[in-house]
């Protein structure tokens, strides 16, 4: 990822959001559409296992989409910003939510019931092209999330995540690229499959190198060139060592494994 790509990607993202905004205005007029104001940080929009019977348009604020494992450990799949759609799997036949959605920054949003929206889309089939682009971006985002879990050491995974966040949420200031998103260190850890303690240690190392500034619930990327070089190092898969097989006593060995 080149440092100069950040500004270009941010501009492209803003252009896409402008196109989607026109569609979303039409959707808010559909039967059953409902606006929800003043959703505070931590408010649950939907949980895994609930009926997938509506989609959501985020008017302001930010929302995190996450999955919870059997051990209650969370993994954040992706982040949603203003003017974006989430819960979109309802349009593709998902019967129940597989992920959960929670407010990351105070938000206002619209709920659009699935049935009237699908009827509207049948009358406007050309819109599926734009939605296909959105679904494709989500798929690439998911692939990036999986890559962060499987490849590279924690430091490199965090650096790659910071650059990705810079593409979508970064704004230039006198110190560098300010990430205008209120993520806690625990939430950053949930994005890279690490712990809060390990993530905190990595961020402090990057700060001491002068690559980032740590602010209250935000970060500033001060040296995009250094971060980009570190992100481009070859990624080695994190494959656990193969366990050694320890045979029991000689008489317990399976037949056919002895000397011939």
CB 155 within 8 A of CB 163: no
pLDDT > 70? residue 235? no
**Residue 8: pLDDT band with limits 50, 70, 90:** very low
The structural domains of the chain, ordered by start, are 5-148 (2.60.120.10), 153-231 (1.10.10.10)
- Mean pLDDT: which of 148-157, 196-205, 223-232 is highest? 196-205
Cβ neighbors of 246 (< 8 A, separation 6 or more) are none
Q: How confident is the model at residue 16 (pLDDT cuts 50, 70, 90)?
A: low
Task: List, as own/partner pairs, every contact residues 195-198 make where C-beta atoms lie below 8 angstroms and the sequence separation is at least 24, other chains included.
Answer: 198/154
- Taking the CB of residue 196, how many other CB atoms lie within 10 A of it? 14
- Rounded-to-integer distance, Cα 140 and Cα 32, Å: 32
As a whole number of angstroms, the distance between CA 101 and CA 80 comes to 10
pLDDT in tens, 111-129: 999 999 999 999 999 888 8
pLDDT of residue 233: 72
pTM given for the model: 0.74
Distance CA(117)–CA(120), nearest Å, equals 5
According to DSSP, the residues that pair with 65 across neighbouring strands are: 78, 101
pLDDT category of residue 247 using cuts at 50, 70 and 90 = very low
Among 160-169, 172-181, 239-248, the least confident range:
239-248
What's the mean pLDDT in 243-254? 48
Highest mean pLDDT of the ranges 16-20, 136-140, 180-184, 204-208: 204-208
Q: Report the b/e string of 209-223 with b at 16+ CB within 10 A.
A: eebbeeeeeebbbbb
> What does the pLDDT read at residue 134?
81
């Amino acid at each position: 990822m080149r440092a100069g790509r950040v500004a270009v990607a941010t501009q492209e993202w803003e252009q896409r959001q402008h196109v989607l905004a026109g569609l979303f205005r039409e959707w808010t007029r559909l039967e059953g559409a409902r606006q929800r104001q003043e959703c505070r940080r931590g408010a649950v929009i939907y949980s895994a296992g609930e009926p997938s019977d509506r989609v959501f348009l985020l008017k302001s604020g930010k929302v995190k989409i996450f999955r919870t494992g059997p051990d209650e450990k969370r993994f954040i799949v992706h982040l949603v910003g203003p003017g974006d759609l989430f819960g979109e799997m309802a349009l593709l036949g998902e019967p129940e939510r597989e992920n959960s959605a929670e407010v990351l920054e105070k938000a206002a949003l619209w709920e659009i019931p699935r049935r009237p929206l699908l009827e509207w889309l049948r009358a406007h089939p050309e819109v599926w092209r734009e939605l296909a682009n959105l679904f494709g971006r989500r798929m690439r985002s998911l692939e990036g999330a999986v890559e962060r879990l499987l490849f590279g050491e924690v430091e490199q995974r965090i650096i790659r995540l910071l650059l990705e966040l810079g593409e979508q949420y970064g704004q230039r200031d006198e110190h560098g690229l300010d990430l205008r998103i209120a993520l806690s260190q625990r939430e950053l850890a949930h994005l890279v499959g690490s712990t809060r303690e390990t993530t905190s240690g990595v961020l402090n190392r990057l700060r001491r190198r002068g690559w980032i500034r740590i602010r209250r619930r935000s970060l500033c990327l001060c040296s995009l060139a250094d971060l980009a070089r570190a992100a481009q190092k070859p990624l080695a898969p994190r494959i656990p060592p193969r366990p050694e097989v320890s045979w029991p006593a000689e008489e317990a060995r399976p037949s056919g494994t002895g000397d011939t």
